[in-house]
Structure 1
């Protein structure tokens, strides 16, 4: 799903901005799934997996789809290609933006995991 990217920069600047949004989404979603997991006695696996999946769908799926589409779709005419490229913010930096979004989601979930596991201190794993 695309979110409004008109305010974002181009190239690596736009990638870093998209990555920052993904870090925040991953961190917040891990906090949500960690809260749900504590209530339902989940291990960290489902918490990490669901938060990574949902953060990726929310922040990176539109750019991932565009990247896939432009590489594998049959664009029959130059006019269709121009029309599709006009709908994409910074088509030249789409690969950089996707990479930064995926790394941002992973970093956000990791930061959430570190904060929650450090704070928890319930003695799991020790006798």
Structure 2
């Protein structure tokens, strides 16, 4: 299920806005998985992996599906194509939005990882 993108701008502005949404979601998910991981003895690998997967599905999943659909579906009539394109926010810049969303997920996880490393106990070693 795709979140409402009607408030977003078009072009690179819409891409940056979608990327910022991805940063926030990925940061919150990483902090959640880091909290769970510390209590269950997980390394950073599962924390980063699950955060990236869920943040990508939640924020970029709809746009990724649209890209896949428009590239591989057999839209055999012009009215069907117009109807499908009308459901997509800013179809001309779909690739830019997906790129910004994926970069936003990576940035959000990186920021969360840096924040979590700063709260380590002084006697605790590297993991």
TM-score by length of 2: 0.96
> Per-residue deviation at 1:125?
3.1
2:49 match: 49
> Which 5+ residue runs of structure 2 have no aligned equivalent?
none
What is residue 110 of structure 1 aligned with on the other side?
110
Q: Please tell me the root mean square deviation across aligned C-alpha atoms, in Å.
A: 1.1
Q: Which runs of 5+ in 1 are unaligned?
A: none
Query: Counterparts of 1:74-93 in structure 2 under 5 Å?
Result: 74-93=74-93
Q: Structure 1 residue 39: deviation in Å?
A: 0.7
Structure 1 partner of 2:31:
31
Once the two structures are TM-superposed, the CA of residue 117 in structure 1 deviates from its matched residue by: 1.1
How far 1:72 moved relative to its partner?
1.0
CA displacement 1:27-69 (0-9 Å, x = unmatched)? 0000000000011010000000000100000000000000111
Alpha-carbon distance, 1:119 to partner: 1.3
Report whether the alignment pairs 1:125 with 2:120. Answer: no
Deviating beyond 4 angstroms after TM superposition, the runs of 4 or more aligned structure 1 residues are: none
Return 20-29 or 116-125, whichever deviates more: 116-125
Q: In the aligned structure 2, how far is the partner of 1:74 from the partner of 1:120?
A: 53
Of 71-80 and 113-122, more deviation after overlay is shown by 113-122
What TM-score does the superposition give when structure 1 sets the normalisation length? 0.96
